[in-house]
Amino acid sequence: MQNTFRDSHPENYQIPPSHSPFPVLDGLRVLVVDDDANNLDLLETIFEQYQAEVNTAGSVDEAIEVIQEWKPDVLISDINMPNKDGYSLIRSIRIKEAEVGGFLPAVAVTGCVLPENRSLAFNSGFQMFILKPFYSEELVTVVAKLTGRTVEQKC
């Protein structure tokens, strides 16, 4: 299995055949937010290989627009972005949800290993926190669990 952020060229990424359980993401609407276009392309490719519908945003402001128009089922957001970061994104989402209802499950992704980042992510409103680099199956499994998707045995 390739490590997701060591080979950041999506055209080179293939999920190897596996006999292990795999998540069912068919039709799941995944919003990926990252200021790095290569990371966006890579994560889009990964989730599309699991049959998810994927939309991407390169900034917090763009993500807010996509959320309002597209209504994703789950959010995957980088933490460290210029101008507004992932913490401000999830806080904005949670404030809006308090006003109008609803709940968007969210995963924080970061390459910054400071211990306080994990607690800050949870306190800001993320349900899961994953450090880069990570294996694609780890992220996909987290998304499946967060959204109540099943895991099936591959033959």
14 occurs within a structural domain? yes
Determine the 3-state secondary structure of 43 from DSSP: helix
Residue appearing with tokens 């591959």: 154
pTM: 0.84
Number of domains composing the chain = 1
Q: What integer pLDDT is reported at residue 141 of this predicted model?
A: 92
2 occurs within a structural domain? no
Q: What is the CATH number of the domain that holds 138?
A: 3.40.50.2300
pLDDT, one tens digit for every residue, the chain (155 residues):
444 444 444 444 344 444 446 678 999 999 999 999 999 999 999 999 999 999 999 999 999 999 999 999 999 999 999 999 999 999 999 999 999 999 999 999 999 888 899 999 999 999 999 999 999 999 999 999 999 987 665 55
4 occurs within a structural domain? no
15 occurs within a structural domain? yes
Domain that holds residue 132: 10-153
What percent of the chain is helix, strand and coil (3-state, nearest 5)? 40, 20, 40
Q: What integer pLDDT is reported at residue 154 of this predicted model?
A: 53
Q: What integer pLDDT is reported at residue 114 of this predicted model?
A: 87
68 occurs within a structural domain? yes
121 occurs within a structural domain? yes
Q: What integer pLDDT is reported at residue 139 of this predicted model?
A: 94
128 occurs within a structural domain? yes
Q: What integer pLDDT is reported at residue 24 of this predicted model?
A: 80
Sign for the CA dihedral angle at 39, 111, 61, 50 comes to positive
Q: What integer pLDDT is reported at residue 96 of this predicted model?
A: 95
1 occurs within a structural domain? no
The answer to whether the beta carbons of residues 79 and 109 sit under 8 Å apart is yes
